[in-house]
Each structure stands twice: as structure tokens, then as C-alpha cells.
Amino acid sequence: MSDRKIKRTLISVFDKTGIVDLARALVDEFGIEIISTGGTASLLKKEGVPVTMVEEVTDFPEMMNGRVKTLHPKVHAGILADRDSPDHMRQIKEQDIEPIDMVVVNLYPFGKTVADPDCTFEQAIEMIDIGGPSMLRAAAKNHKHVVVVSDSAQIDPLLAHMREHDGTVDADNRVALASRVFEQTADYDAAIHDYLAGRKADGTKATSTAIGTSRLHLPSRPLHSSLRYGENPHQHAAAYSTEASSQRNGIGTVNQKPLSGTEISFNNFVDADAALALCHELSRSTPDTGVHNCVFIKHTNACGVGTHADPIEAYRRAYAGDPNAAMGGILACDFPIDAAFAETVMNTYGTWGKEFGAGGFFVEVWVAPAFAEDALEVIKTTKAWGQRVRLLAVGDFAVKPDAVETDVKKIAGGMLVQDRDLVGLNEDQWKVVTKRQPTDRELQDLRLAWLVCKHTKSNAITVCNDAMLIGNGAGQMSRVMSCRIATWLAKENGHADRLTGAVAASDAFFPFPDGPNILMDAGITAIIQPGGSKRDADTIGACDARNVAMICTGTRHFKH
């Protein structure tokens, strides 16, 4: 019965946050006996909390460095006995087993352990908890009679409830606590499966991943934030995180909340993720070069990209790419934001916007490694929109992307799962297929165009010149149309003179020379594309006829 007083509690935890306060309250306020093990028992004794060692209960010593200590009938029968069953109660009495009314256990941190790149296979195996999940599942199954606490965050609410209910825990809370256990153990087993599925017998990484195995395990995600609505106001939505992502920078990490500004919307999340992904990739492609990168994203596609040793010049180039599209866009910078740079951004419209013919300027979300305190003050006080802009400090851009994390796309009735596209500037596979080699300047711009194009919705054509994006043709049904849009946007945004000598990237091969001809007619002098069309020779011949350089990368970057 849920109103039965708790007499005995078993406490055995890895994470000891709040455990002393809980144990002391159970003993001093409610007269509950504490059974404990190993390090937990040592801590409680040190803090003056009376403890009965589990060996005294089982009359059996711990074995194998603690691998076997609670796996015993006197523990599990005490947890699993149905107090409403006379037969159960007769049997435990015959075996001199006392019921256990509360189980406080948390699991070895397997996910956190294997997230460390220095973790060995042997260390990972030792972090596979056996006794913990067994006790938790037993207590959760018998939640009608046993209260189960599996998370330190549950301690304070539980004690408050017990104080209000004369030391008892009601049925609704018991069910909720039990439900949390099975959520945790399911995630725990899935994490172990995914780790082992990516390993060979000697512990080294296998070339294959868990993708393609008979079943797909997707761990449950903690709620990041409730959203006012989804892509549209009539759609309900919420954001959830992957708990392990707290080890890396990401828009959806459990510890990622805006430093300032209003609530992040569904579309903000999607666009900010796209901005971070592109800016992160650009940053990884220019390590230790002193180059800074700025990106403007609108509806997941880049409308402005600039790179330069001077962060303000990098930003100016990014903004100048498409000033009208930049208004209300997502800004990502791969460097910490100081007060001087913040002032530049806040005064964008007055400094450049009017000159460029823009109608106004504000930023919806601003992503960067960090924001200095004086920069936050500038942002909040310079313009009215500074109070609303969502500021996301995502940490060091030098953190490598998680190769294990999968790319999941929902479809009606199922989902598609694939490895993330982490191929960047794989220049060892690039081949110049034309008579003319690209110049050093063209090659620099080709690298930029190739990475921007990779992060642009297919069909994608990206045009760059002088380390900035000047035209991006995205998401068209025809590659020819993407070529037309990219060159038209360059002219529309005042870059007609920059088209001469510019470079272009295509995310997939050109089936015919018609697309390259449009680009070359506009003044493009170098093109980068995967190659692989049956008519590559025709396209290469068209480039040779006009002395245009072409690189084939051998890698396609469709983005749907």
C-alpha cells in the first residue's frame, strides 16, 4: 500500500549528490534504517549517518572488486516481495528476509565515460552497471510497495512530499518514479549497444556503425524547452536534447540556453543549427590561420558568408553578401564577441545598411563561442532589438563534431537514419580536370564556395569572390535554375562587378554544360563540382574552350 510507512531503505549510488542530506533526513525525521554498500556506506558513516552494511544483510561478502555485492536473494526478495501476497510474505519470513521499502540507486556513468576520447575499451566495459539496473528494475516493478529513487534531482521533491504526507509516498509519485527508472535503463542499455556495435573484438572502432542493425535504438531525450508552436502557429512543438551532447557545442545541448533574449522558436532552432554547422565547418577548415568567419543564415541557407583576419571585415563581407536577406536572419561567428564587435553589429544598418539599400536590420539569433559581459551590455542597450535577440554561447569551435551522432529524418510511418556528412575539404581526392589550373586566389575562393555549397539545400550553386559569398542558388528543382538564381542574386545585391573572376561550386555533377555556360557567361572563371556525369567530357570541354578552370572532388553533398 502506498500509505505504508517506509522502514528500510537501500542506498547505493555512484553520483553522491545530495545523498548525505537524504540519508540523514530518512534516519532523523522518519526513523528509517539505511542499508548501504562500498563507497556510499563509507561516506554516510563519515558524515555520522548510521548504516547497516549490505554484507550484514546477505551474510555474504562483496566479491570481484564490487562486481557482486547486491546480487543476492536477501536483497532482491526484499525488494520484490508483494506485501499484499500472503504467500510472498510467508516465504520471505521463512528465509529470514526483511522487506526493503525504498531503493536509492543511480547508475555508473557509461555515456559520460565513453564520450571521453581517451576512454579505453576496458574502462568502458567496467562502466557497464549490473547490480544497479537490476535493483532499479526490481524496485520499479514493485513500485506499489517500494519507492525507487534513481536521480539526485528527485531527492528534494521526494523529501518535501514525505514531510507533507507523514513519511509516506503516494501512488502517483511511485508510478512516476518507476516510469523514470525504465526510461533510464532503456537509455543505458541503448548506449551500451551503440558503443559495442561500433567496436571490434579488440575494442578498436569498427568501420561500420550501429546503422543497419536489426533494430534502431534512439535514446529518450530530456526536454530542452517547450515551444510556443512549431514551424507554423497551428503546430504543437517542443525541443529535446541528447544528454551526451553536453560534452560538445550544439544548439540543442542540455546546457544550452540563451544568455539573453526571448524564447527560441522552432524555426530559430533549425536555422541556428544550420548557421552553427556551416560556421563550425569553416572554422575547422582554417585552424591556426588567424582567419575569422561570419555567417548569415535565412531559412537554413547561407545568404552571407565572410572570412578575414579582421573579424569586423569578415562580418562586413558576410552582411554585404545579401543585406536584405540578412535582416531578421541568424548570425554565427567563430570567435568570442567583445564590446567593439558587438557595437559594430548593433550599428550595422547605420554603418552599411543604408548605403547597400537595405530596408532595416536586426538579428533573430546570434551564435558564438562566448559573449563578454561588456558585449552583452552593448547588445542590450544599443538598439531595441538587442533586448530580443537570442544569444547562444556554444563554446570552443575547435571541438570536433561527434562522428557517432546520426542524422535522422522523419518520414510518414518511419524514419531515415544516416551517418552525418563530415567530409570537408578532402583535397587529396580533388582533381583539376581542365587544361588550366586554378590560381591561388581562385583556389582559396573555391574552398569557401565548396563548403558553403555543402551546407546549402539541393540543388545548390554557390558563387564566391574575394573570400565572401556573393550569390547562392538553393533548393531548386533544376540545377540550371540554381545557376541562374546564384548569378542573378549576385547582380541584385550589387556584386555584378565581382562576378568577373568569381568562382562557383555545385553540390552535385552537371548533367550537361548548360549550367556551367550560365556561370561562365556571368564571368565565373573557376568551378568546383563532384564530377561523375556521363557527359563530364562535354562540360570539361566547355570550360577549356573558355579557359575556365574546373576541379572535380569525387564527393557529392546533397542536402535535403
Which positions are catalytic?
Answer: 141, 299
For residue 220 the three cell numbers come to 529518450
Taking the C-alpha atoms of residue 46 and residue 140, their distance in angstroms, rounded to an integer, is: 30
Say if CB 317 and CB 308 are below 8 A apart: yes
Q: Compute CA 21 distance to the chain's CA centroid, rounded to the nearest angstrom.
A: 34
Dihedral of alpha carbons 10, 12, 18, 21, sign? positive
Segments in 403-474 forming alpha helices (H):
440-454
Beta bridge partners of 331: 296, 366
| Alpha-carbon distances, residue 394 vs 302, 455, 497, 518 (angstroms) | 20, 19, 37, 40
Q: Concatenate the DSSP letters of all residues of 295-364 into one string.
A: EEEETTEEEEEEEESSHHHHHHHHHHH-HHHHTTEEEEESS-B-HHHHHHHHTHIIIIIHHHT-S---EE
Cβ burial of 436 (10 Å; 0-12, 13-18, 19+) is: middle
Taking the C-alpha atoms of residue 124 and residue 198, their distance in angstroms, rounded to an integer, is: 13
| Alpha-carbon distances, residue 281 vs 11, 18, 265, 287 (angstroms) | 46, 41, 24, 10
Q: Compute CA 508 distance to the chain's CA centroid, rounded to the nearest angstrom.
A: 27
Q: How many other C-beta atoms are found inside a 10 Å radius of the C-beta of residue 405? A: 15
Say if CB 386 and CB 346 are below 8 A apart: yes
Q: Concatenate the DSSP letters of all residues of 457-500 into one string.
A: PSS-EEEEETTEEEEEE-S-SSHHHHHHHHHHHHHHTT-HHHHT
Q: How many other C-beta atoms are found inside a 10 Å radius of the C-beta of residue 73? A: 13
Beta bridge partners of 33: 8
For residue 536 the three cell numbers come to 563530364
Say if CB 396 and CB 280 are below 8 A apart: no
Q: How many other C-beta atoms are found inside a 10 Å radius of the C-beta of residue 108? A: 18
Taking the C-alpha atoms of residue 80 and residue 556, their distance in angstroms, rounded to an integer, is: 57
Q: Concatenate the DSSP letters of all residues of 54-118 into one string.
A: HHHHHT---BGGGTBSS-SHHHHHHHH--TT-HHHHHHHHHTT-----EEEE----HHHHHHSTT
Query: Side chain identity at 208, as an amino acid letter?
Result: S
Containing 149, the helix (H) or strand (E) segment is strand 147-149
